[in-house]
A and B are shown apart, each in its own frame.
Chain A
Amino acid sequence: MTDQLSPVAADQPPDFDVRGHDSLGLRVQHALHANPVLGPLAVLIVAVLGFSIVNGRFFSAPNLSLVLAQVTVIAVLALGQTLIILTAGIDLSAGAIAVFSSILMANFCTKAGMPGLPALILGVACGTAMGAINGMLVTRIKLPPFIVTLGTLTIFFSLNSVVSDSETVRGSDMPSLMTWTGTTIPIGTFRLTYGSIIMLLLFAVFFYALGSTAWGKHVYATGDDVEAARLAGIRTNRVLFSVYTVAGLLYAIGGWILIGRLASASPNVGTEYNLDSITAVVLGGTSLFGGRGSVIGTLIGALIVGVFRNGLQLAGVEVVWQGFAIGLLVLVAVSLDQWIRKVKT
């Protein structure tokens, strides 16, 4: 008997831990497949280190506070976007819902003379309803999410101009609750906004909901293979509808944080928010093909966008080239996702 291989061992599935004979590339591929947050995290750390070396001011508490404040709105939008992309969908109307909700809240206060809290609640309810409309169109009329949200994007922006008369509402004309999200708590020289705290709490809530509840498992299963999920007894339409509705809720909260950030409600901002939210999700390692990804990745992805924008600015790179750099990052991230998906087991 010279054959050392027992038949049992040959039958066993490959164990990821004993792949010493594999090339470095393969091991990296497996590590990323098992833990997709590693890639974005590495990019974030390298970017922070790099920008700190280029400009000493980057890694100062005031500047980091600014980065966090800048990414807060995008991060909340990207959180809703993550839920939708996990179901293999896409939401082009994320920014439109956020901005329109902020305009509604502001106009409820100024034109309808409502106090802060009712205006806020009603505004958030309107944003949730906009998400529900997306969800309805996706699940009932069975249109592709891309087309649905392309249509609603245009509609919401148009309504936005109608309601606002294309006029900006100043923060000082609104109840203080509206701009409360922009107020800060000083921690040393670091200034944390209430908006950022809300953002972090929302990430914690959805980290829990996706990982530890049946709803979360159903979101992943639906995104993985909608037919398989349906046959397994999951009411996939209900899951999809809930995801679009919850995303609408998150976008509206994002709109509220936006008022605090800008100290005003402007109908003319946020056109770039739609794509920026998708960028953050993709950079965070969530697959556009559904079923794979995490909200932690999205938080890291949003921070990568913020760190790049801010870092490139401090390094003296012109604004036009910042977009170029972030676009390049997105392409690299999607290529990486494709490569990870081809993992051989």
Chain B
Amino acid sequence: MTEPVLQAKGLTKRYGRVVAIDGSDLELYPGEILAVIGDNGAGKSSLIKALSGALIPDEGQIFLDGRQVHFRTPMDARAAGIETVYQTLAVAPGLDIADNLFLGREQRKPGVLGSVFRMLDRSRMRTEAKQHMSDLGVGTLQNIGQAVESLSGGQRQAVAVARSAAFGSKVVILDEPTAALGVKEGNRVLQLIRDVRDRGLPVILISHNMPHVFEVADRIHIQRLGRRATVITPKTHSMSEAVAIMTGAAPPPDQPIGGVGPPGD
């Protein structure tokens, strides 16, 4: 059986008397898109934040490639190869596309210019940024020096996804990537997500949009009341069944612990 790339066991996070996640598990296997769905307050965001280092769980373990990891900051998770695109996008609107792609890991010029004068290697960053964007088929952006604020919502999302795909070596986590987008742009971003997976990076997709989830996900993790209710696939279950499990209207299907196994099993 395939080993999960990213695995969480019994994650718990309490805020005073409020339990945000209550012993939640999660497995992400190589080459898949795992959707995480759940009602408001089911603990999706907290679960994802724990995986991306934005919060430190009170209990539980996280394994990356079978080795236990302890993330204290988002930087730790990034250094380990987990890239997250937050709902707020985390782009700086005033900076241009290339600056945004390299935000937080700028490249300096070689030699004295870089080491003493800290000069950025702008031309190299621009060339590489262009390469990353076209790798993902985002060729509509003609000017890499364009300020991100002049882009449409879908294009900004493309910048954020391109950044995560360019630097993520293990896992890409996308939080509500299509929430603020129109139909056409939403579909384009879905294609982008498939492209990221097809380049070999497994993706965790958090979304409220059931049609989008059922369109791209290989497996669907349903979070309910702070823990994993079950894992289903779009092939075996319908959208209304998923919603029923999510809201508690239907009991989760009988399954071995851990739900459906890795894709292809």
The chain A residues found within 8 Å of chain B, CB to CB, are 11-14, 16, 208-209, 212-215, 217-218, 220-221, 224-225, 227-234, 291-292, 345
CB-defined A-B contacts under 8 Å, sample of 5: A221-B95, A231-B86, A231-B90, A233-B74, A291-B92
The chain B residues found within 8 Å of chain A, CB to CB, are 54, 74-75, 78, 84, 86, 88-95, 99, 103-106, 108, 117-120, 122, 140-142, 146, 149-152, 155
Q: A13-B155, A212-B120, A214-B118 are in contact. Are A231 and B94 (CB under 8 A)?
A: no
Residue of B nearest to A216 (CB): B120
Q: Is the CB of A225 within 8 A of B118?
A: no
Q: Is the CB of B140 within 8 A of A217?
A: no
Complex Cα distance A345/B99, Å? 20
Q: Is the CB of A233 within 8 A of B105?
A: yes
Q: Is the CB of A231 within 8 A of B74?
A: yes
Q: Is the CB of A228 within 8 A of B90?
A: yes
Q: Is the CB of B93 within 8 A of A224?
A: yes
Q: Which of A13, A218, A234 contacts B146 (CB 8 A)?
A: A13
Q: Is the CB of B104 within 8 A of A233?
A: yes
Closest 8 CB pairs of A and B: A233-B104, A221-B92, A214-B106, A231-B90, A213-B118, A228-B90, A224-B92, A345-B150
Q: B232 → chain A, closest Cβ, in Å?
A: 30
Q: B63 → chain A, closest Cβ, in Å?
A: 23
Q: A212-B120, A217-B95, A233-B105 are in contact. Are A228 and B78 (CB under 8 A)?
A: no
Complex Cα distance A46/B155, Å? 40
Q: A217-B103, A217-B106, A221-B103 are in contact. Are A229 and B92 (CB under 8 A)?
A: yes
Q: Is the CB of A228 within 8 A of B155?
A: no
Q: B145 → chain A, closest Cβ, in Å?
A: 11
Q: Is the CB of A212 within 8 A of B119?
A: yes
Q: Is the CB of B92 within 8 A of A225?
A: yes
Q: Is the CB of A228 within 8 A of B88?
A: yes
Q: A87 → chain B, closest Cβ, in Å?
A: 12
Q: A220-B92, A220-B95, A227-B88 are in contact. Are A13 and B151 (CB under 8 A)?
A: yes
Q: A201 → chain B, closest Cβ, in Å?
A: 15
Contacts beyond the supplied A214-B120, A215-B118: 8 A-B pairs with Cβ under 8 Å: A212-B120, A217-B106, A231-B84, A231-B88, A232-B90, A233-B105, A234-B103, A345-B151
Residue of B nearest to A229 (CB): B92
Write out the residue numbers on chain B whose beta carbons fall within 8 Å of the beta carbon of A13: 140-141, 146, 150-152, 155
Write out the residue numbers on chain A whose beta carbons fall within 8 Å of the beta carbon of B90: 227-229, 231-232
Complex Cα distance A166/B104, Å? 48
Residue of B nearest to A293 (CB): B94
Q: Is the CB of B104 within 8 A of A345?
A: no
Write out the residue numbers on chain A whose beta carbons fall within 8 Å of the beta carbon of B106: 214, 217
Write out the residue numbers on chain B whose beta carbons fall within 8 Å of the beta carbon of A233: 74-75, 78, 103-105
Q: B218 → chain A, closest Cβ, in Å?
A: 27
Q: A13-B155, A231-B86 are in contact. Are A225 and B93 (CB under 8 A)?
A: yes
